Amino acid sequence: MTSVKEREVTYVEKDAKAPLVISDNPADHVAFNKKDENWRYIPSKKFDVLATSPITSGNPLVDVLNASKSHKISYSGVAGLRVRDIITANNIAAEHNEFVIDVDKSANGKLVEINYSGSTPSNSVIQVNVASQVEAQILLRDFGQADTSLNLAINLGNGAIIKFVFITEQSAKGMHFGQISANVGRDASLTMGIVSLGGDLVRRSFDSLFNDVNGEMILLGATHSADGQYCEHRTVVDHNTPNCRSYVDFRSAVDGQGTHSVWIGDTIIRYSATGSDTYETNRNLVLSAGARADSVPNLEIETGEVVGAGHASATGRLDDEQIFYLTSRGLKDYEALKLIVVGFFANIVERMGISTILQPVVETIESKLKSVGDL
């Protein structure tokens, strides 16, 4: 009689998700691996050096208008910042600049301006604390002329109503990356705009949590990449408390050989988050051959007691019929292209709620379109 030996066999699904880790400690994260979902799109030749070599703290200049600012050298994160990957953890564990910006009731009805600049590599964390019941606009502009690790925590007190826009300016150079974490208080509303125009490589990861019931989170994105730029945005909106609302709308245009944009969005509705209302969408325009746009929307629902939940994604070339219609009315090809692309972005930038940025952003997009050749 043939004997039979039993043994356990462990089967790991090829596409199984790695456990989610949120920690400032690099030891808690898996090592950088280009095959991991977190890094599968990014050009490793440009980025993998950061896996073992954090950016030096540098000496960035941070100018602040209509709010108070403090600064110190730090080796740890700040309250409200959720670190989701090894690269960010390495940079936060290394020597970096910590800026704390407090927005109190004296900022009501005003525009708080934060200008971040520097000619050498820099590594910084900015924490923006907004007091309860404050209603204001906040504009953060990144002008860095070299590799820049810039992490941002936004903490909204109860009842605060904030329009916050973070722009990577066209003049920015090198790699610009970091985590953005938003924390929305009870009855508070955050309209968050992310505009990425410059930098050779841009990677922004965004996440949000609701600290209490009846919060609102509107996330709007506008990115234009050209001439081989790489631009990646990852968004996570976490509905962890009841009766909160969120809306995500990201738009991108890509132009030129080797230009690549990536958007990966995830909206999570926890079991306890009954009464949630959410929607996320991403639209991408591919303006020329050789450019690429990837879009991955995700929706995770743990309870059926929701007001609404959905997502959508679309990527495509310009509509030839639209171009033909406009050129038949006397417009040149470039003028028709400009009209369509500017219209694609103008609405979403306007909805970010800071009127002074609309014209500069539109003018920057127009200037980048001048390089477009084959439609």
Instruction: Identify whether 102 is part of a domain.
Output: yes
Half-sphere exposure of 127 toward its Cβ, with a 13 Å CA cutoff? 19
Instruction: Identify whether 332 is part of a domain.
Output: no
CB 181 within 8 A of CB 88: no
E strand or H helix at 75: none
The pLDDT, as a whole number, for residue 375 is 45
Quote the CA–CA distance of 247 and 265 in Å, as a whole number: 11
List the 216-226 sheet strands across, edge first: 61-65, 111-117, 135-142, 161-168, 189-196, 216-226, 245-255, 277-286, 308-317
Secondary structure of residue 110 in the 3-state scheme: coil
Instruction: Identify whether 17 is part of a domain.
Output: no
Task: Give residue for tokens 């900022």.
Answer: 107
Instruction: Identify whether 328 is part of a domain.
Output: no
Instruction: Identify whether 289 is part of a domain.
Output: yes
pLDDT in single tens digits along all 375 residues of the chain: 445 455 454 444 444 455 679 999 999 999 988 888 999 999 877 777 887 789 999 999 999 999 999 999 999 999 999 999 999 999 999 999 999 999 999 999 999 999 999 999 999 999 999 999 999 999 999 999 999 999 999 999 999 999 999 999 999 999 999 999 999 999 999 999 999 999 999 999 999 999 999 999 999 999 999 999 999 999 999 999 999 999 999 999 999 999 999 999 999 999 999 999 999 999 999 998 899 999 999 999 999 999 999 999 999 987 777 777 788 887 887 788 888 899 999 999 999 999 999 999 999 999 888 654 444
Listed residue (270, 236, 234, 258) closest to 37, CA to CA: 234
**Six token digits for residue 333:** 């090809």
3-state helix, strand, coil in the chain (%, to 5): 20, 45, 40
Quote the CA–CA distance of 47 and 39 in Å, as a whole number: 10
Q: What number of H helices and E strands is found in the chain? A: 5, 18
Listed residue (225, 206, 212) closest to 166, CA to CA: 206
| Rounded alpha-carbon distances, angstroms, from residue 302 to 209, 240, 306 | 16, 11, 10
The pLDDT, as a whole number, for residue 370 is 63
Q: Hey, which bits of 9-95 come out as E strands?
A: 61-65, 68-74
CB 309 within 8 A of CB 279: yes
Instruction: Identify whether 337 is part of a domain.
Output: no
Instruction: Identify whether 194 is part of a domain.
Output: yes
Instruction: Identify whether 1 is part of a domain.
Output: no
The pLDDT, as a whole number, for residue 359 is 96
The pLDDT, as a whole number, for residue 322 is 77
Number of folded domains in the chain?
A: 1
Please state the φ and ψ torsions of residue 106, each to the nearest 5 degrees: -70, -15
Q: How far is CA 147 from the centre of its chain?
A: 17
Q: Please, which residues have CB within 8 angstroms of residue 285's CB and are 6 or more apart in sequence?
A: 251, 252, 253, 254, 293, 316, 317, 318, 341, 344
Q: Which domain holds residue 137?
A: 26-318
